[in-house]
Structure 1
Amino acid sequence: MYNVMDFGAVGDGTTDDTGPVQAAVDACAQAGGGRVVIPGGHVFRTGTVTLRSHVELHLEHGATLAGSPNFEDYSVRFGGVVRNDGSSSWGDTPTTVLLNAEGARNVSVTGSGTIDGAGRHYVTGDNGHIYEMDQRRPFTVYFRDCRNVTFRDVTIVDGAVWTLRLSLCDDVLIHGIRIHNDLKTPNSDGIDLDCCRRVRISDCDIVAGDDAICLKACLETVENAGEREAVCEDVTVTGCTITTTSSALIAGVEDQTAIRNVVFSSCVIRQSARGLAVRLAEGGEVANVLFSDIVVETRFFHSGWWGRGEPIAIMAVPWTDRCGTIRNVRVRNVLCRSENGVLVLAQEPGAIEGLVLEGVRVEIDRWSRWEGGHADLRPRRAEPFPAMPTDAFHLENVQGAVLRDCEVVWTRRPDDGRHALYAENCPGLVNRDFRGEAAHPSREVPVVLA
């Protein structure tokens, strides 16, 4: 046991305790490993703390590790990443990190205490729906190239950007944690798995201003992977409750290589901008993804947030000039209440194949103040919000899709509502035991297959 107060930490919430906390971690690592204790009843304000191999950081009940409001207190910083089209992931201003690890083995963060990501200190403006942020805001947790990583039971609040980010990490367990961020903080994702392998996420509660659980293969990670195969694979997510202003469960957007062999199951999603998503935007591949036994509720938000209330969104639309393929996605036993319908769309034929939707019930309702009638295809160089009537199921340029035992119910029949099922350029489509009617049967037929 290495209590940080034995190394001089004060824990009054105002003193900079970075040095003593880091000293406790270093002493623990030098002794071969053990537990560094953040004791209850105290708030320890720090800048960057770097964990080492064989160290467990344990936060007791009533303990808080709080990120500093001062940029100068953070010693680990990351510059912006320039993409092929000249854009930058984070801009030119360096991004910082609160809890850091690189190349660590057998590293854990446990306990019933709290990690405070300090997001509120980096708000520079508020338009009523989404904050403007100082781009120097810290990642709350950023681990890179680590093995045997565990996060258990901790609560993380007020993440400023990508709350729990793991890049090139293998053999990861994330269980029973809570992430509660301000829903107006942009990019405050819950959990981001970036080129990680063999990951289990279970029984977590996530409230996030942006994607809640997101699988990625980011440009900067792929370029710095060395000889390692930079892919995201062999991931299970189960038993989570989620609220987000963007996608709840998503594979993709940043997808330079492969994202594959993924299972999402037994989750409840409420009041989110997008529910279950596979979003291919770059030149990689997403393959073998299962979504099953999930309850989804999605709604419209201000256009500053990505997503237009789709309970299920599977899209292959290039960010700039290229796009890979989506193969073998299965969605089974999903109950949806949403302001928009299921969207499966490829910009070019052949980019999506082998899709199965089985036992999917879509109830279309409207309760927010935002208007429907268009899609959200961001990130995209062309028109990001093309006009699109609300179909309960909309499939476009999809190869070999199968729909079995799907159902449509219109609680509200909006003026922009259209078909129960619309399929355009979908060779090999199989549709069995489909139930439902058009939003306005007197105007349209319930099923259109083009």
Structure 2
Amino acid sequence: MSKFLLLAATLTFSASAALAQTYSVRAYGAVADGRTVTTAAIQKAVDACTKAGGGTVEVPAGIYLTGTINLKTNVNLHLDDGAVLKGSPILSDYQTYSVPGFGTNHYGILYSVHADNVSLTGPGTVDGNNEVFYDFTQAKTLDTATTRYTRQKNNYRHVASGIGDGPVVPKDRPRQMVIFSQCTHVRVIDVSLLNSPFWTMHFADCDAVNVDGIRLWSGLLVPNADGIDVSSSSNVTIENCDIRSGDDALAIVGYDHHFEIAGFSGLKHPCENINISNCNLQSYSSGIRIGFLDQNTVRNVNVSNCNITNSTRGINISLRDEGSLENLTFDNIRIETKLRTGDWWGNGEPIHISAIRGNADKSVKMGRIKNVRFSNITCRGENGILLYGTAESPLQDVQFHNITFDFVDSPLNSVAGGNVDLRGNLDPKLGLFARDIPGFLAEHINGLTVDNFKLNWDGAKAPFLSNGLEVNHFTGLRIRDFQGTGAPGNAKAQPISLQDGAEAMVDGKLRKAK
């Protein structure tokens, strides 16, 4: 063997040997009694591991009370069966960061920045201990300014007693429970992430991320406790996960301007190449949210073989600023949505797509939502499917193929039904507002295809229900094999209503809009 090959083999063996090393947190003084704060001991194990070239930091069974731990390059934090990293109830045990205009905040339990080949694995648990950071006896309520344009006015989402659907009231708390910021080659495998006091897991400006087989239950009554947030990251796979969260179960967003919600900044590229499959999702907000108050593009997102149940919104694609949301595909998905009480966003829509200005700077050009495809979708919901573009930003090239929607009656119609929720825009009259509700409503859209859509009114007879399929302000509309009627009990409701549009083809025949 040549000296070069011998040296290469030696270096490869040395690197592999280093990565195979195991560092038990017990050996560095961690105490698993659930009372002693063990942050420093666990950090010593992580630091020793990365300094030696990497390996596995093992957390044996037991409850380890901790503040913020910094994961680093070539470190796999492995939680054994029965191992629990439990968040300290004392806020000062968490590392701080400052955001201009927002004061001092605290990181959560795990924070990794500029790390490569970093992992969180094993059958153990990270527990955010949110019971100490919320008042679970009180619910946040909507103010009268927010509800003044709703059908119910001050009675909107009213609860006669108790806290209803929450959300419960937060106290001072740590922020994201698990953060990977500007990291590459990230794996989160098999772990349980429970009881987060804020967003549960955030990938910010990361590349090459794999999340597989995790259980993430942040608590359905807890506000801001998103499941997984992916912002300005690339090449991300999320699969085989069970996510149940108060706020969005999955949020895919792109930031461009200076962004420091967790003490990092400089996220200036699209969020792209995201694959989500074989997941069960529940949320008192959106099962999947793509976009919102973002300044950069989200593109190339594929979602397949998922269940979205017990949620307030199913799939939510929202644009309020520059940048675009494009090349989004959804296939083989079951969606079940409900109306809620309390201060949650969304109002029972199985699918929500909206593009309406939220940036007050008129020099900023609104982005576009375009090239969105839904196929093989089965819905059961207490409000209609909503597509809401605007003259400033019409929706473009949206397709629906093989859709079944059971529009069901809601026990909350008297306090929440008959409204549209477009909050986050500049016009309060188009935030939460009363409107008659079709089974499928599309406003300001160019290039809509609806192919093999079956609409069933399942006991839904509220007086505010209207047409089966309604499209207004459109060009290039194609409808084929729509099976449905207007709402039962509404003599004026039509199966298909078209207004202010051109180029409408219904079952191969040209149809004029009113």
TM over 0.5: yes
Residue by residue over 1:370-395, the C-alpha shift from the partner in whole angstroms, topping out at 9 and shown as x without a partner, is: 43111010112222112121211100
Identify the match of residue 259 of structure 1 among 250, 275, 298: 298
In the TM superposition, residue 350 of structure 1 has moved relative to its aligned partner by 4.3
The aligned residue for residue 505 of structure 2 is: none
In the TM superposition, residue 169 of structure 1 has moved relative to its aligned partner by 0.4
The aligned residue for residue 421 of structure 2 is: 376
Residue by residue over 1:79-103, the C-alpha shift from the partner in whole angstroms, topping out at 9 and shown as x without a partner, is: 36x6xxxxxxxx5452422100000
Letter in 2 for 1:316: A
- Between the aligned partners of 1:366 and 1:38, the Cα distance in structure 2 is 49
Residue by residue over 1:187-236, the C-alpha shift from the partner in whole angstroms, topping out at 9 and shown as x without a partner, is: 1000000100000000000000100011012344499665x752100000
Q: Is the 8 A contact 1:222 1:256 kept in 2?
A: no
User: How many residue pairs are counted as aligned between the two chains?
Assistant: 439
The aligned residue for residue 404 of structure 2 is: 361
The aligned residue for residue 435 of structure 1 is: 483
Identity of matched residues, %:
33
Letter in 2 for 1:288: N
The aligned residue for residue 87 of structure 1 is: none
Aligned in 2, Cα 1:392/1:349: closer, same or farther, shift over 3 Å? farther
Which runs of 5 or more residues in structure 2 are unaligned?
1-21, 140-162, 500-514
Give the root-mean-square deviation of aligned CA atoms. Answer: 1.7
- Between the aligned partners of 2:394 and 2:70, the Cα distance in structure 1 is 42
Identify the match of residue 99 of structure 1 among 100, 105, 110: 110
Identify the match of residue 132 of structure 1 among 153, 157, 169: 169
Identify the match of residue 329 of structure 1 among 346, 353, 372: 372
The aligned residue for residue 246 of structure 2 is: 209
- Between the aligned partners of 2:493 and 2:204, the Cα distance in structure 1 is 49
Letter in 2 for 1:405: N
Identify the match of residue 198 of structure 1 among 191, 213, 235: 235
Q: Is the 8 A contact 1:79 1:95 kept in 2?
A: no
Q: Is the 8 A contact 2:341 2:416 kept in 1?
A: no
Identify the match of residue 217 of structure 2 among 156, 180, 186: 180
- Between the aligned partners of 1:381 and 1:123, the Cα distance in structure 2 is 30
- Between the aligned partners of 1:314 and 1:393, the Cα distance in structure 2 is 12
Q: TM-score, normalised by structure 2?
A: 0.83
Q: Which has the larger radius of gyration?
A: 2
Letter in 2 for 1:276: I
Q: Is the 8 A contact 1:362 1:409 kept in 2?
A: yes
- State yes or no: 1:298 paired with 2:309: no
Identify the match of residue 237 of structure 1 among 276, 282, 285: 276
Q: State how 1:15-414 maps to structure 2 within 5 Å.
A: 15-40=36-61, 42-79=62-99, 91-124=102-135, 126-127=138-139, 128=163, 129-218=166-255, 219-221=257-259, 226=266, 229-321=268-360, 323-369=366-412, 370-383=415-428, 384-412=431-459, 413-414=461-462
In the TM superposition, residue 368 of structure 1 has moved relative to its aligned partner by 3.8
Q: Is the 8 A contact 2:49 2:75 kept in 1?
A: yes
The aligned residue for residue 506 of structure 2 is: none
Q: Is the 8 A contact 1:233 1:259 kept in 2?
A: yes
- Between the aligned partners of 1:101 and 1:222, the Cα distance in structure 2 is 15
In the TM superposition, residue 115 of structure 1 has moved relative to its aligned partner by 0.2
Letter in 2 for 1:373: G
Aligned in 2, Cα 1:8/1:95: closer, same or farther, shift over 3 Å? closer
Q: TM-score, normalised by structure 1?
A: 0.94
Q: Which has the higher helix share?
A: 2
Partner SS for 2:486: coil
Q: Is the 8 A contact 1:93 1:135 kept in 2?
A: no
